[in-house]
Amino acid sequence: MEMDLEPDWCLYLKLLSRMKLTDDDSVRVSMDTVDATMMAITWSTPDPTNASVVEYGINGFTQMVTGRMIKFVDGGKGAVVRYIHKAVMTALKPGAKYVYHCGNPKYGWSEVFYFINRLEDANWSPRIAMFGDMGNINAQSLPRLQREAEMGMYDAVLHVGDFAYDMDSDNGSIGDEFMRQIQPIASILPYMTCPGNHEERYNFSHYKNRFMMPGDEDGNNMFYSFDLGPVHFISVSTEFYFFVQYGIVQLFRQYEWLKSDLAAANKNRDKRPWIITFGHRPMYCSNNDHDDCTRYESLVRVGIPFIEKGGLEKIFFENGVDVMFWAHEHSYERLYPVFNRKVYNGSIANPYLNPKAPVHIITGSAGCQENHDGFIPDPRPWSAFRSDDYGYTRMTVINATHLYLEQVSDDKGGQVIDKLMIVKEKHGSYD
């Protein structure tokens, strides 16, 4: 089984080799969607090599796997060619620390990297950093995130769309630089992603090639799911609603897949009670622009106009999704539990104690060259807290019933400006 993942268990990567690899090279790893004994690794080179090899082990390079190489041609006028290598490390022990390097004996090896393989047991408390809209320029949150990742504060990262601004720019050189920028994080942590609007060029070709997701061997699947601790995570593409020139059939394909995936996740809630989704464009927001989330009937929320098919809110509500993470708006906003624009708080005293609808979090302020997105003067009834500080979100899934969230402000030197505890004594449909 070959997997191309940048997102999930990413590892500490920096390329150094006996025959030194060029500055265009980059290395990434990610966890398999189901099997905790497997970890995928991808790396890119500007030139073809005769083999794609990873040597790895707990105490030295005691294991080896040979993967495959894919030729990726940028869609721009320069037609720049890159070679992306994929391999899957197998027979891994859950919770063990592994070292590895990639390359081959003829063309040289990367420097040695490490990762800690995830636990197979659902009864542990993963710690996750999440954010969206981080560019190659003005990546405000990146230094602090790198430091915290290297300190061992997280077990995974969710990047909720919009990378580099843009990965295709300058025939992909901006994308190359961005991948090098996130490498210290993406190499030691699972760096899970979803596509955003800034990935649209050439039918999302840079995203599909640079970020291969769990179960996505052909690079064409922009939605997927994976398990981590007591959580079933689902990544969706909101871009199917807006770039229909690439085929509206993908929207309905995602919707049918969602029904099947959610049904399976609900049958497994005794083991993994939390269901958490992430996608780029929110269903709700109180920003003062004219994005989809500012409209009464958001496409992401209700689906295609007139036929009203493919909307995500109803299917997420019916299947008891607990938390939804979004980005796109260059701000942070926490919502009260909401469905169909109506607040469904758990109680007057504590809205997040057994909430009667999903909790939405918008975290799109990690930093890029575009400006902050402002807010309307009077927040909507479902808006609980909002900030346009640069920053990112931390989440700790404490156990089957308690989930803790906090928002970090880079403008305020890493201060936590918002926090909440979601308590769900029973998971499942809100009907």
Model confidence pLDDT, tens digit, residues 245-301 = 988 889 999 999 999 999 999 999 999 999 999 999 999 999 999 999 999 999 999
Model confidence pLDDT, tens digit, residues 166-190 = 999 999 999 999 999 998 898 888 8
Does the pLDDT value for residue 12 go beyond 70? Answer: no
Does the pLDDT value for residue 395 go beyond 50? Answer: yes
Supply 216's token pair: 């996505």
Model confidence pLDDT, tens digit, residues 111-168 = 888 888 888 889 999 999 999 999 999 999 999 999 999 999 999 999 999 999 999 9
Does the pLDDT value for residue 2 go beyond 50? Answer: no
Distance CA 87, CA 2 (A): 6
Does the pLDDT value for residue 338 go beyond 60? Answer: yes
Predicted local confidence at residue 215, as pLDDT: 72
Indicate the pTM of the whole model.
Answer: 0.92
Mean pLDDT of 52-58: 95
Predicted local confidence at residue 397, as pLDDT: 98
Does the pLDDT value for residue 95 go beyond 70? Answer: yes
Does the pLDDT value for residue 1 go beyond 50? Answer: no
Predicted local confidence at residue 11, as pLDDT: 35
Predicted local confidence at residue 32, as pLDDT: 58
**323-326/274-278 β-pairing:** parallel
Query: What residue ranges define each of the domains in the chain, with the CATH number in brackets?
Result: 26-116 (2.60.40.380), 127-423 (3.60.21.10)
Mean of the per-residue pLDDT values for the chain? 89
